[in-house]
Amino acid sequence: MKVAQEKAMSAVLEVPKGVCEGKRLLTPEDLLRMPKEERRRYELVDGQLVEKGMAATSSAVGAKLIASLASYVEQTQAGLVFQSEQGYQCFPGRPRTVRFPDVSFIRRERLRPEMAEGHIRVAPDLVVEVLSPNDVSREVSRRIRDYLEAGVRVLWVVDCEARTVQVYRQGRQGVILTEADELEGEEVLPGFRVAVRELFRPLALLQPSEPTPSQQSDAGAAERG
C-alpha cells in the first residue's frame, strides 16, 4: 500500500494554554473547551493531542470532494456530509480518543438529534482522509485501523502526491484507484460516482506555470542588461 512518505514525525503536543495545567491526559470534554480555531488543528489520541497535517493541496482536493458529495446528498437526501470540524468519539475501549476525518458521511436513517452538538458517538458510514505531504505512514495506517475497527463501512484515503484513492471496506481487501478509474459510493452512497482524475483537477492551479514567450524574452533582456 502506498501512502505519503514519512517526512516528519507527528508531534504529540503539550496541552495548549488555557485548557488545563501540566501534561495530564485530556478528555473529549477538554477538547471541546478549546477555542475552535485551535481545536481544529488537533486530534485526541488516547488522551494526548496530536497535530494534524495541513496543506493547500489536501485542502483543495478535500473541498472538491465535499462539493461532489454535497451535490449528491442534495439530490438524494441520503444523509449528511460533515467537514473536518466534526469530531468522532466512537472508538471501542478508547474513551479518550477523538478523531476528525477530513470528510465524513452518515446515512439519513442513522442520524439522531443528539448529534447536533459536540462529538458524534457513532461511527460514520463513510470517512475520507486526504493525505498531506507531512503525514506519517505509521499514523495513517493507525487511523485506517481505528476507523475500520470502530465500524466505518467505507474509507477513502486520497493521496495527492500519487494521485490515487485507496478504498477500504469492512471485511474486504483494500484497492487502489488511479486517475483512469472512477470512485463509486457503492452501497453507502448508491449511484454516486466521480472520476478520480476530477478530484485532482484543483492541483493544476497550484503547479508552477510555464513562462510565456514574452516573459522569457523579458527575462533574457533583463539578464543581458
Identify the CATH number of the domain in which residue 114 sits.
3.90.1570.10
Q: What are phi and psi of 187, to 5 degrees?
A: -75, -20
pLDDT in tens, 196-223: 999 999 999 887 665 545 545 555 555 5
- Nearest residue to 128 via CA among 158, 99, 169: 158
Task: Tell me, yes or no, whether 158 lies in a domain.
Answer: yes
- Residue 197 in grid coordinates: 482524475
pTM comes to 0.81
Residue type, 158: V
Residue whose C-alpha cell is 497535530: 51
Q: How many domains does the chain have?
A: 1
pLDDT in tens, 49-97: 998 877 899 999 999 999 999 999 999 999 999 999 999 999 999 999 9
Task: Tell me, yes or no, whether 18 lies in a domain.
Answer: no
Task: Tell me, yes or no, whether 225 lies in a domain.
Answer: no
> What is the chain's alpha carbon radius of gyration, rounded to the nearest angstrom?
20
- Alpha carbons 104 and 125: distance in angstroms, whole number: 8
Q: Bridge partners of 109?
A: none
Residues 161-185: what's their mean pLDDT?
95
Task: Tell me, yes or no, whether 46 lies in a domain.
Answer: no
Cβ contacts of 14 within 8 Å, gap of 6 or more: 23, 49
